[in-house]
Amino acid sequence: MTIDMAQFHQVFFEESFEGLDAMESGLLNLDMGDVDEEAINTIFRAAHSIKGGSGTFGFTSVAEFTHVMETLLDEMRDGRRQITQGAIEILLGSVDCLREMLMAIQSGQEIDTVRVAGHKKALDTELDGQGNTTSTLANDSADQCLGESATVIMPATAVQGWRIAFSPHAHLLKTGNDPVRMFRELAELGELSVRVDFQGVPDFHQLDPEECHLSWDLQIIGDISREQIDDVFDWVEEDCDLAVQALTVQQPVTQPSGDVVKDRPEPVAESPEPTEVAPLKAELPAPSRKQHKPVAKNVPARPAGSSSIRVDTEKIDNLINMVGELVITQSMLSLVGEHFSINRLDQLKSGLAQLERHTRELQESVMNIRMLPINFVFTRFPRLVHDLSAKMGKKITLEMTGEQTEVDKTVIELISDPLVHLVRNSLDHGIEMPEQRLAAGKPETGKITLNAYHRGGNIVIEVCDDGRGLDKQKLQAKAIEKGLIEDNMPITEQQIFELIFMPGFSTAEQLSDISGRGVGMDVVRKNIQTLGGNIEIKSEQGQGSVFAIHLPLTLAILDGQSIAVGDETYIVPLVSIIESINVPEDMVNRVAGKGETFRLREEYLPIIRMHEIFSVENVRATKLSEGLVVVVEGQGVRCGLFIDDLLSQQQVVIKSLEANFRRVEGVSGATILGDGSVALILDIPGLVRLSNQQAAKAQQYYAETA
């Protein structure tokens, strides 16, 4: 009997990527000098499993590479070799290389043999006791058939610039990214020439102004690293086809021994001009950049969102039990239907109630299967903090709490990039240099904390640091300088913090390859809002900052309260509602041009008239005493929604309004009700912003006409 091994490949890849994550985490936690036998054993076992699996499936290149790693780990485990920082860095780089090899095999692409040979050379050099040197990552072909007395250094390849084929996907402009802004950043790195390709532009009557149909062939000359190029395109790597090719010249050969090595190519004389290269689109068929990222890339390439998840057998058992109960109820209802009479009406009602209960429980069981611990996102950050803190010369520790907090798989996949950007900002802008921290009376080691917890029907993810905090005066001055706000304009602390989410806004005094280019924070908020969430900031200058992301537990189903406003029906998330009350006129305070407030238990809350916000006609209640005020809270802000009446509570299936129509401020989505009509789901923080905007316009109008 022939066994098709391909059916087991997906399981192998998933287990291998999990093993690589375990290896990376273990290496980052190793103590210098002392051998922690259990930690080394954990790393060794993961490497051994990957080697065994790859050998079984015929992935010999992976098995051979992992064998060299295993040899180095075995010597550490036996105490024959001390743990050094150099060895850990080499092993971390090898983990990255191994991950890229597996990703290439999984996607059916060619393995980058040059990179593999470079990392293998570094491992061999460490095993030989020669330490880690940069040259060990060079091409291994120079070792072929050399005589013992000959000392030959192959012609060195010096990068003089880069050729970039950049072809955005049609939707790129809708993500908030601007190619012109990226070209501007490239021009700051070196001498840039740009050639645009119009072949993809459709006829005028088919042209969509919100889509990008152009592609570019870029050439940049200068002393520029590949990492700098990658950083410019970092946020669009999933939204474009990108090919990068080095423009190089050959440097003269150095041959100290004087011996002549035959059959070696003569060195090419150094030329001030880069070597001519063929058009990129002919030579590089837009490979995945994740396959060719440099070793020093801050965030190692990870597998794309997996199409499968692992589920605890207990969850499967619960689901099977629920299906069994549902089948029993269905059989009972079928029997009632076949022999129905008015005498069996109570039995029908009982069966329908039982069906409703079982359906709800089945729904909860199915949704629970999609829930994964947030640790799937958090695992990448120890490596990121380790690499960037070393690069910037800062001392930073990372603490993670609430890693087992569960959230929907879709949220897990989409929240990763915004979190990476927030952590990078904390590393670069938040945490000070050690000497600055000591001068401010702080410990020289800064701390970044990732925390996740449930609150109501939401998950809250916090990125906290004990750094310098946000400088409100500096933010306000920069906003005035850029013309975003007017001088002497009254503005709250929270509104000042909100300025950092405006496109192109940055207070960085100098650009870095970590952050400070004014691109990213606006995209961070846009991505979070796409998930139906919001982000809020708390900061104290000199003490640190907290960025709190509020997300729904699931993007599919919501517990909501239906409300009536005129002939329209809206859904308010149940977790946002505090209470509903009748407000008599004598409780209302009105300020000309600033709206209405009412007093509720020593607190003054603004009133948002829903029919005015959404321009609803035929409302039944225009006076506050005629309708109801629903007190709601979103992101720590309370307000009262003035409506005609409360309807029913129900679970609704969320449909994306932005995907099917366009984004509407104050609305997070839509749903289809039982009668087939469409109801909008309200976004409470968005409603507050919309109300404030309308109040500001009214205040301005009042001031102009007064």
The answer to whether residue 61 sits within a structural domain is: yes
Q: Which two tokens stand for residue 250?
A: 């050959």
298 confidence band (pLDDT: 50, 70, 90): very low
Q: Residues 412-438: what's their mean pLDDT?
A: 87
Tens digits of residue pLDDT in 247-259 = 765 444 444 433 3
Domain boundary among 75, 110, 143: 143
The answer to whether residue 95 sits within a structural domain is: yes
Q: Are residues 338 and 243 in the same domain?
A: no
What gap in Å lies between CA 550 and CA 378, rounded to an integer?
A: 16
Q: Residues 14-23: what's their mean pLDDT?
A: 84
Q: Are residues 189 and 281 in the same domain?
A: yes
C-beta atoms surrounding 464 within 10 Å: 19
CATH number, position 58: 1.20.120.160
77 confidence band (pLDDT: 50, 70, 90): confident
Mean pLDDT of the chain: 77
The answer to whether residue 152 sits within a structural domain is: no
pLDDT at residue 264 is higher than 50 = no
CATH number, position 507: 3.30.565.10
Per DSSP, 428 falls in state: I
Among residues 656, 418, 499, 520, the alpha carbon closest in space to that of 176 is found at: 520
What gap in Å lies between CA 47 and CA 98, rounded to an integer?
A: 10
Q: Are residues 528 and 624 in the same domain?
A: no
Computed from CA positions of residues 224, 225, 231, 233, in that sequence, does the dihedral angle turn out positive or negative?
A: positive
Q: Residues 463-473: what's their mean pLDDT?
A: 89
Annotated active-site residue in 24, 48, 432, 568: 48
The answer to whether residue 226 sits within a structural domain is: yes
Tens digits of residue pLDDT in 111-160 = 888 888 888 888 888 888 754 443 334 333 333 333 333 333 334 445 57
What gap in Å lies between CA 600 and CA 585, rounded to an integer?
A: 13
pLDDT at residue 650 is higher than 60 = yes
60 confidence band (pLDDT: 50, 70, 90): confident
Q: Are residues 568 and 494 in the same domain?
A: no
518 confidence band (pLDDT: 50, 70, 90): very low
Interacting residues of 275 by C-beta distance below 8 A, sequence separation 6+: 247, 248, 249
What gap in Å lies between CA 268 and CA 25, rounded to an integer?
A: 45
- Of the given ranges (223-227, 447-451, 473-477, 519-523), which has the lowest mean pLDDT? 519-523
Higher local confidence (pLDDT), 74 or 510: 74
> What DSSP string describes 297-328?
-SS---PPPPS-----HHHHHHHHHHHHHHHH
Across-strand partners of 607?
A: 640
- At 5 the pLDDT is 58
Interacting residues of 575 by C-beta distance below 8 A, sequence separation 6+: 456, 457, 458, 559
Q: Residues 619-624: what's their mean pLDDT?
A: 83
Higher local confidence (pLDDT), 594 or 357: 357
- At 282 the pLDDT is 33
What gap in Å lies between CA 36 and CA 83, rounded to an integer?
A: 9
Q: Which two tokens stand for residue 145?
A: 């058939």
- Of the given ranges (80-94, 148-162, 515-529, 637-651), which has the lowest mean pLDDT? 148-162
Give the up-direction half-sphere exposure of residue 106: CA atoms within 13 A in the CB hemisphere.
23
* Ramachandran assignment for 267, one of left (phi > 0), alpha (psi -120 to 50 degrees), beta (any other): beta
Q: Residues 186-213: what's their mean pLDDT?
A: 84
Q: Residues 98-119: what's their mean pLDDT?
A: 88
What gap in Å lies between CA 104 and CA 289, rounded to an integer?
A: 11
- Name, of 11-15, 393-397, 519-523, the range with top average pLDDT: 393-397
487 confidence band (pLDDT: 50, 70, 90): confident
Tens digits of residue pLDDT in 447-457 = 999 999 887 66
Burial (CB count within 10 angstroms: exposed 0-12, middle 13-18, buried 19+), residue 270? exposed
The answer to whether residue 210 sits within a structural domain is: yes
Q: Residues 375-404: what's their mean pLDDT?
A: 87
Based on the residue annotation, tell me whether 425 is a catalytic residue of this protein: yes
- At 555 the pLDDT is 65
pLDDT at residue 609 is higher than 60 = yes
CATH number, position 687: 2.40.50.180
Residue 163 contacts residue 501 (beta carbons within 8 Å): no
C-beta atoms surrounding 79 within 10 Å: 10
Could you tell me whether strands 588-591 and 645-653 are parallel, antiparallel, or unpaired per DSSP bridges? unpaired
Question: At CB < 8 A and 24+ separation, what contacts does 56-64 make?
Answer: 56/5, 57/5, 57/8, 57/9, 57/12, 58/5, 59/105, 61/101, 61/111, 61/116, 62/98, 62/101, 62/102, 62/105
- At 142 the pLDDT is 32
- Of the given ranges (226-230, 301-305, 468-472), which has the lowest mean pLDDT? 301-305
What gap in Å lies between CA 684 and CA 524, rounded to an integer?
A: 20
Among residues 367, 363, 339, 333, the alpha carbon closest in space to that of 351 is found at: 333
State the residue range of the domain holding 403: 373-552
The answer to whether residue 224 sits within a structural domain is: yes
Q: Residues 359-382: what's their mean pLDDT?
A: 83
Q: Are residues 112 and 248 in the same domain?
A: no
Q: Residues 659-679: what's their mean pLDDT?
A: 81
pLDDT at residue 361 is higher than 80 = yes
Residue 630 contacts residue 649 (beta carbons within 8 Å): no
Q: Are residues 232 and 92 in the same domain?
A: no
185 confidence band (pLDDT: 50, 70, 90): confident
Q: Residues 206-224: what's their mean pLDDT?
A: 86
Q: Are residues 359 and 405 in the same domain?
A: no
The answer to whether residue 151 sits within a structural domain is: no
pLDDT at residue 529 is higher than 70 = yes
The answer to whether residue 298 sits within a structural domain is: no
Helix (H) or strand (E) holding 496: helix 493-498
- At 74 the pLDDT is 83
Q: Are residues 277 and 186 in the same domain?
A: yes
Across-strand partners of 245?
A: 163
Q: Are residues 18 and 133 in the same domain?
A: yes
Q: Are residues 345 and 286 in the same domain?
A: no
CATH number, position 235: 3.30.70
What gap in Å lies between CA 193 and CA 469, rounded to an integer?
A: 40
Could you tell me whether strands 628-634 and 595-600 are parallel, antiparallel, or unpaired per DSSP bridges? unpaired
Count how many domains the chain has. Answer: 5
* Ramachandran assignment for 183, one of left (phi > 0), alpha (psi -120 to 50 degrees), beta (any other): alpha
Based on the residue annotation, tell me whether 321 is a catalytic residue of this protein: no
- At 508 the pLDDT is 55
Q: Are residues 328 and 252 in the same domain?
A: no
Annotated active-site residue in 425, 451, 458, 527: 425
Q: Are residues 386 and 334 in the same domain?
A: no
pLDDT at residue 608 is higher than 70 = yes
Among residues 297, 276, 301, 279, the alpha carbon closest in space to that of 288 is found at: 301
Q: Which two tokens stand for residue 290?
A: 């994740």
pLDDT at residue 281 is higher than 80 = no
Computed from CA positions of residues 515, 521, 526, 530, in that sequence, does the dihedral angle turn out positive or negative?
A: positive
33 confidence band (pLDDT: 50, 70, 90): low
